Amino acid sequence: MIIVLGILEVDADQRQRFLEGKVPQVEATLAEPGCVDYCFSADSGDPARVRLVERWASLADLEAHVVGLRSAPAPESPPVSSRMVEVDVFDAEPVRPPWA
């Protein structure tokens, strides 16, 4: 499984608008082949921060998603300005959780 963890910064007073604007992208991405999970969420400790979590069945599925994002038309309404602060991509294997 491929896991993507990202941190984005937005203006704190625009974070909710940013998250609401991502709903169509999230819904479309969840329907893509190989997408297991795709989520933007508010960081509980920083009002100007958004977390991105993605899980993909394979690296090829993630790569196809990125190609699609880059070739998609620009959004109709002006997007909220954001900046990717950090993004990590992991090739992970599920293990038994320590609380199980």
pLDDT digits (tens, 9 = 90+) for 39-83: 999 999 999 999 999 999 999 999 999 999 889 887 777 688 999
Where in the sequence is the domain holding 86, given as residue range(s)? 2-91
Full-model pTM:
0.89
Contacts of 64 (CB under 8 A, 6+ apart): 32, 33, 34
Establish if 99 belongs to a structural domain.
no
* Structure tokens that stand for 29 in this block: 């991405």
Establish if 71 belongs to a structural domain.
yes
Q: How many domains does the chain have?
A: 1
Residue 73: give its domain's CATH number: 3.30.70.100
**Alpha-carbon span 27 to 30, nearest angstrom:** 5
Establish if 69 belongs to a structural domain.
yes
pLDDT by residue (tens digit) across 24-36? 999 999 999 999 9
Establish if 82 belongs to a structural domain.
yes
